[in-house]
């Protein structure tokens, strides 16, 4: 059974990832960083599509489950404050994303942020975005953000509007909104929300 057929249903990966990932124009074998990835099916889709995946995640349980679902036996090692789970084409760093350094991460060709920026409360987002640019040398990003009336519901995911995305990333990246959709049935079934896909390309200075 080839790696592409690991009982994987495309529908389980984020449709926005599947639809827009090629806009990053990455060569196969490129390393893609997924901050705060959980045991996301997106990892599986990226691996099946021929990319290498690097993730950072707080929950050790999520990562052990991810490897189990991928049918991979991880090599486990300590790097600084973090625990690294590795197998062919996949490296997961378990611990606080702020403990992840450029050295631990290695070279990154692109970032796919589906659940990191929107998962963090406002006061941490500035620190997170600077840290992310710092450790990846501002690699191009596919970023998914939500927008809704924050007074109606508490996050996560939090509402991060266009102004805020620009405030964090506008000085370093050229930002392009490539898609906006209404969240079907509302966010968590509670509140009317839109989901936007951003393509961030480093400005050549």
Residue 36 marked in a binding site: yes
**Which of 113, 145, 180 is the endpoint of a domain?**
113
> Residues of the chain whose pLDDT is less than 50?
1-10
Domain that holds residue 165: 116-205
Residue 114 marked in a binding site: yes
β-strands 194-202, 173-182 pairing = antiparallel
Q: Does the residue 98 lie in any domain?
A: yes
In angstroms and rounded to an integer, the radius of gyration of the C-alpha atoms of the chain is 16
- 2/15 Cα distance (integer angstroms): 23
pLDDT of residue 204: 84
Same domain, 132 and 192: yes
- Name the domain count of the chain: 2
Same domain, 130 and 173: yes
pTM of the model: 0.93
Q: Does the residue 182 lie in any domain?
A: yes
Q: Does the residue 1 lie in any domain?
A: no
């Amino acid at each position: 059974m080839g790696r592409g057929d690991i009982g994987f249903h495309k529908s389980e990966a984020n449709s926005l990832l599947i639809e827009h990932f090629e806009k990053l124009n990455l060569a196969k074998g490129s390393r893609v960083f997924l901050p705060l990835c959980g045991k996301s099916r997106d990892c599986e889709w990226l691996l099946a599509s021929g990319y290498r995946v690097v993730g950072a995640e707080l929950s050790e349980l999520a990562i052990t489950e991810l490897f189990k679902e991928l049918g991979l036996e991880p090599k486990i090692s300590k790097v600084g404050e973090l625990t690294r789970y590795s197998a062919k084409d996949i490296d997961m760093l378990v611990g606080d994303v702020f403990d992840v350094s450029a050295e631990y991460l290695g070279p990154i060709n692109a970032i796919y942020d589906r659940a990191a920026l929107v998962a963090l409360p406002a006061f941490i987002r500035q620190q997170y975005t600077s840290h992310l640019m710092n450790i990846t040398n501002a690699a191009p990003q596919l970023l998914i953000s939500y927008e809704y009336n924050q007074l109606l519901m508490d996050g996560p995911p939090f509402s991060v509007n266009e102004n805020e995305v620009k405030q964090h990333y506008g000085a370093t990246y050229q930002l392009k909104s490539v898609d906006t959709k209404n969240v079907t049935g509302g966010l968590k079934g509670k509140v009317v929300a839109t989901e936007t896909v951003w393509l961030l390309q480093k400005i050549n200075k």
